[in-house]
Amino acid sequence: MSFYEYKDTIAEGDLVLAYVTRALIKPIYVKKGEIFNTRYGHFEHDKMIGMKYGEQMPGAKGYGFIHLLYPTPEWWTLSLPHRTQIVYTPDSSYIIQRLNVTPGSRIIEAGTGSASFTHSFARTATLSGKVFTYEFHEPRYLEAKKELAEHQLANTTITHRDVCNDGFNVEGEDIDGDVVFLDLPSPWDALPHLESVISSTRRVGICCFSPCIEQVDRTVKALEDLGWTQIEMVEVAARRWGTRKEMVRTVEDAVQRIRDIQSGRKNGIEVMKRGASEEPSEKFQKTSKGYKTPKKSTKVKEGDEDFQWVNVTKSEAEIKSHTSYLTFAYRIPKIESK
């Protein structure tokens, strides 16, 4: 298992992200004899060994299932143990593109926080690049250090440091950074310390990630004073779309359903309960137009072949991705005139 590349088959000791529901994805290390318990059933680690990543795994008692996902930075972000607010993929993917992070990039990141973004940076920079990440909160630093080692992110160096006071230099390292990402309450205090660790021969890009517009204001002023150029602030607003099947219904059926609901309300809950406990002989009836429509109180599974379905797409009602403003800037190397 590695965040840098992909493999097919699960082995003992591997990290698997158990997809239980959209809102519940659990990281587990596969260990013989252990059981992963959920309210949807329990799942034996022994049986995961030899299964393919991406496969659906049935519960041991014959009910419920999970999917066994390969740990990519994108899935890790949705399953990691939160120690802080984190950067999600709509922001991290945009930042990586705007800062031109590529294999070989030398990245400076502070603070590490839950190391969500550190994983994306490490994967994109590959082993030919390097991520220097800094965290001043000791328990968080220790957790992140342990996690980066467990995930064998060999191109990361984490330092326990207050970068606003003590800067970014790391003993024995020529940092020579060309990408900077600051997710700190006061990036303007850290900016002057970058001068000694960023590249003087390559273009350097920076992104400061701040939830308040007042922070953006101060950051822009500090960037201008220090000679950064092309300063621009953007907000990423992503909206997810999903597809599902909707049952084809006639107007007659829709009117009947409204009547059923109204009569249910009028006659009270008892009538509704009686209806629900009646065992329907067949789960559908035919409308005058020839469509099959489910009988009252019948539960129908999406896509049930007894009915007609149409594929529909729906978007989330709200845009949930905004967590911060992204302030970008660049430093262009000075060309010496002869």
Ligand X SMILES: C[S@@+](CC[C@H](N)C(=O)[O-])C[C@H]1O[C@@H](n2cnc3c(N)ncnc32)[C@H](O)[C@@H]1O
> Residues annotated in the binding site, as ranges?
135, 162, 183
Site string for ligand X, 44-63 (x = CB under 6 A): --------------------
178 binds ligand X (CB under 6 A): no
Residue 307 and residue 304: Cα distance in Å, rounded?
A: 6
134 binds ligand X (CB under 6 A): yes
CB of 67 to ligand X, least distance (A): 24
Amino acid occupying residue 272: M
| Candidates 24-32, 48-56, 128-136, 301-309; binding stretch for ligand X (CB under 6 A) | 128-136
Nearer to ligand X, 141 or 307 (CB): 141
CB of 71 to ligand X, least distance (A): 16
Choosing from 111, 129, 177, 205, the residue that interacts with ligand X (CB under 6 A) is: 111
Nearer to ligand X, 79 or 285 (CB): 79
Question: DSSP letter at 200?
Answer: S
Of 227, 252, 262, which is closest to residue 332 (Cα–Cα)?
A: 227
- Binding residue positions for S-adenosyl-L-methionine: 135, 162, 183
Instruction: Calculate ∠ Cα 29-132-321, nearest 5°.
Output: 70
Of 280, 264, 180, 251, which is closest to residue 222 (Cα–Cα)?
A: 180
| Candidates 7-15, 40-48, 83-91, 289-297; binding stretch for ligand X (CB under 6 A) | 83-91
| Candidates 67-75, 181-189, 241-249, 285-293; binding stretch for ligand X (CB under 6 A) | 181-189
69 binds ligand X (CB under 6 A): no
Q: To the nearest 5 percent, what fractions of the chain are helix, strand and coil?
A: 30, 30, 45
Q: What is the largest CA-CA distance in the chain?
A: 94
* Pairing status of strand 292-294 against strand 284-286: antiparallel
Of 126, 153, 16, which is closest to residue 79 (Cα–Cα)?
A: 16
**What are the tokens at 150?**
């467990």
CB of 117 to ligand X, least distance (A): 4
Residue 224 and residue 319: Cα distance in Å, rounded?
A: 32
Q: Report cis status (omega within 30 of 0) of the bond before 111.
A: yes
Residues 184-243 contacting ligand X, CB under 6 A:
184-185
137 binds ligand X (CB under 6 A): yes
Nearer to ligand X, 53 or 134 (CB): 134
Nearer to ligand X, 170 or 247 (CB): 170
85 Cβ contact list (under 8 Å, min separation 6) = 113, 323
Residues that bind ligand X (CB under 6 A): 84-87, 110-111, 113-117, 134-137, 140, 162-164, 183-185
